[in-house]
Structure 1
Amino acid sequence: MKKLLALTTIAAAMATTAVTSHAQDYPGGKPITIVVPFAAGGPTDRVARDLAEALRKSLDGVSIVVDNTAGAGSTIGNAKVARAKPDGYTLLLTHVGMATTPVLYRKLSYNYETDFEYLGLINDVPMTVIGKPNIEARNMKELRDWISKNPGKVNLGNAGIGSASHLCGLLLQSELKADMTTVPYKGTAPAIADLLGGQIDLLCDQTTNTTSQIEAKKVKPFAVTTLKRLNTPALKDIPTLDESGLKNFQVTIWHGLYAPKGTPAPVLKKLNDALKVALKDPEFIAKEEGLGAVVVQDKRVEPAEHKKFVMSEVARFGPVIKAAGAYAD
């Protein structure tokens, strides 16, 4: 019995030594893969590629590969990372969908709360409420009046169930207590195309997708979804929904970084430390600001605060999604 106990103790010590050695060597020149659960070229993909470059600098120049594993509203890519070896070489970068898929999908092959290590929040992307070029309303007050006088006749587009624009639209309808017809598309591009053509009336989408259209005066901007006006030249004169009468209305599409559950604590610390350095990289900040995004510099860069924030977002979006019956399965 004593011999068995001694062997068990030695095995445990060897395992601990191996983990410690791995953590000290990490990443050790081995490539890191960041899984993005969306197609290449979209807003989340752009954030991932910019962050990969900033992280590379803070991780001794290690190669960081972005793997676009799209499909099923981000759940395929999320599941891929949840099942990955927890060694720090496979990470997940995703957006607010981490907090909404648990409500949108009744059955998931992973648990958002227990299958991931939360590493830190990356950015906040504001949203804009925009209208077709020839829409009758000139400001948010007139828009609200117009919607109320046309119950069920106003078409509100979105980029698909579970998309950022879908979530923003649900919250907007809930706050306005408005009866609008929701029109889902397979992506933001076709939704904006139909908005420009007048097939739909309104769209609420990320600044990363709408700023260029607003700059070119191809759409009618009504409001931004932050509590303060934005500093971006093309958006600085657009009022907030809060000042337009929807008090405390605020919604941003944030991005966060995750690792598989069970990744060694020393590796997680190295990754979180590298993330904090990356988020202060002037080049990364400039790129994000160019997309209309705000790089996170508050306590949400800490793993515990990141997870706490996501849980609060689940509680926030859940009732709205359930009330609308907006399920993806």
Structure 2
Amino acid sequence: MLKNRRILLQALAAATVLPVAAFAQGSATYPSDTVRMVVPYAAGGATDIVARAVADKMTGVWSKPVVIDNKPGAGTTLAAAHVARAPGDGHTLYMTTSAHTISASIYKKLDYNPVKDFAPLTLVAKVPLVLVVRPSLNVRTLTDFIKYVKANPEKASYASPGNGTAQHLAGEMFNTAMKTKIVHVPYRGDAPAITDLMGGTVDAMFATLTVVIPHIESGKLQAIAIANGSRVEKVPTIPTFTEAGLNNFEFATWFGVFAPASVPKNLRDRISKDIQAVVLTPEMKKKLVDMGGEVVANRPEEFEAFVQTEARKWQEAVRISGAEVN
């Protein structure tokens, strides 16, 4: 009888351990297939550029392809809904921006919860926004820009990479602060927005610094002011909004990597560490700084706290500006 009981207990213990051991073995061989990094914007934009740089390095680290899956539209919510429904096996990752923490406040209805349905992995970098205008506008200072838009109410326009993005909300906050009526024109990503800005279809853009640096340097876009507490090393001649005459106007986007919320904690931690290591290499750090970014590469717990703080901040910004997306 006692012998049989011992055999039964040993069998039950084995049954409990086997799934854990099996998962540990599976985690050790991660990834077992191609990893898709979903990007909620069109190819060529700032998020796409950063995602491709990270994906290229991760392909070497993991010895499996890490491919970019561009899913633009609806202010990043189409891509986010896709990722929220994906299996939490680490083979679907999500490189997104501050728009992710804005969406809950600016959209009346979402098919997912931006906080609960995602596992934060690491915050790669933060990048301030910069107000740029088409050179044919013939304005070079914030004072001149304000004069122009006030003289052209509901005719002057600003582009953004989509409804509900930091770029969109910064424009609405500018309208609120300066009592202007600049018309918002949303696009499906940075690249088409900037193309139309340079072509003269729209007048201005509160753009992610990363994606407009080459156009500022070439003279195809005129930089007015940067929405940061201090000047940026990469473009030291661009004044801050405070220096230009508008105090406390600070807006930044950021690039962070998430997984579906169902990803196991040990796999989440491993993916995070691998991406952090890549981001902190001298080559990648230089690339991000050259793009106007501040390198972060933090732990999942730190990124999670950051996401919650961001959600509260943008909720207040939406309330003040009255911005809304139906």
- Aligned mates of 1:53, 1:186 — CA distance in 2: 24
Pairwise CA RMSD: 2.9
Q: Does 1:45 align with 2:48?
A: yes
Q: Matches of residues 143-182 of structure 1 in structure 2 within 5 Å? A: 143-147=145-149, 151-152=153-154, 154-182=156-184
The answer to whether the Cα contact below 8 Å between 1:37 and 1:68 also exists between their aligned partners in 2 is yes
- The aligned residue for residue 210 of structure 2 is 208
- Summarize the Cα distance change of 1:200–1:56 in structure 2 as closer, same or farther, 3 Å threshold: closer
More divergent stretch after superposition (197-206 vs 98-107):
197-206
- The aligned residue for residue 21 of structure 1 is 25
- Aligned mates of 1:165, 1:10 — CA distance in 2: 55
The answer to whether the Cα contact below 8 Å between 1:124 and 1:253 also exists between their aligned partners in 2 is yes
Q: Deviation per CA, 1:182-211, whole angstroms, max 9, x where unpaired?
A: 333454445444444545432211123322
- Aligned mates of 1:228, 1:262 — CA distance in 2: 39
- Which one of the candidate residues 202, 224, 243 is aligned to 1:222? 224
State the shift of 1:98 in Å: 1.2
Q: Deviation per CA, 1:2-58, whole angstroms, max 9, x where unpaired?
A: x999977654333223223323x2315533222222233322122111101222344
- Aligned mates of 2:98, 2:275 — CA distance in 1: 19
* SS of the residue 2:69 aligns to: strand
TM-score (norm 2): 0.85
- Aligned mates of 2:127, 2:138 — CA distance in 1: 28
State the shift of 1:145 in Å: 4.8
The answer to whether the Cα contact below 8 Å between 1:223 and 1:241 also exists between their aligned partners in 2 is yes
Q: Matches of residues 279-318 of structure 1 in structure 2 within 5 Å? A: 279-297=279-297, 301-318=298-315
- Aligned mates of 1:91, 1:159 — CA distance in 2: 21
State the shift of 1:153 in Å: 5.0
* SS of the residue 1:237 aligns to: coil
The answer to whether the Cα contact below 8 Å between 1:148 and 1:178 also exists between their aligned partners in 2 is yes
Q: Does 1:269 align with 2:269?
A: yes
- Aligned mates of 1:79, 1:140 — CA distance in 2: 38
Q: Deviation per CA, 1:132-177, whole angstroms, max 9, x where unpaired?
A: 3243543223434554566555433333312342122123223334
**Which amino acid counterpart does residue 57 of structure 2 have in structure 1?**
A
**Which amino acid counterpart does residue 133 of structure 2 have in structure 1?**
G
Q: Deviation per CA, 1:100-152, whole angstroms, max 9, x where unpaired?
A: 12123222222111111111101112221122324354322343455456655
The answer to whether the Cα contact below 8 Å between 2:88 and 2:261 also exists between their aligned partners in 1 is yes
Q: Matches of residues 1-329 of structure 1 in structure 2 within 5 Å? A: 11-23=15-27, 25-27=28-30, 29-59=32-62, 61-135=63-137, 137-147=139-149, 151-152=153-154, 154-232=156-234, 235-297=235-297, 301-329=298-326
Q: Work out the number of aligned pairs and report it.
A: 321
- Aligned mates of 1:186, 1:65 — CA distance in 2: 20
- Aligned mates of 1:106, 1:11 — CA distance in 2: 47
- Aligned mates of 2:265, 2:159 — CA distance in 1: 43
- Summarize the Cα distance change of 1:325–1:12 in structure 2 as closer, same or farther, 3 Å threshold: farther
* SS of the residue 2:137 aligns to: coil
TM-score (norm 1): 0.85
- Aligned mates of 2:301, 2:112 — CA distance in 1: 20
- Aligned mates of 1:189, 1:228 — CA distance in 2: 26
The answer to whether the Cα contact below 8 Å between 1:54 and 1:281 also exists between their aligned partners in 2 is no
- The aligned residue for residue 3 of structure 2 is none
More divergent stretch after superposition (182-191 vs 166-175):
182-191
What stretches of structure 1 of length at least 5 have no aligned partner? none
- Summarize the Cα distance change of 1:161–1:14 in structure 2 as closer, same or farther, 3 Å threshold: same
- Aligned mates of 1:68, 1:138 — CA distance in 2: 35
- Summarize the Cα distance change of 1:198–1:258 in structure 2 as closer, same or farther, 3 Å threshold: closer
- Aligned mates of 1:281, 1:208 — CA distance in 2: 19
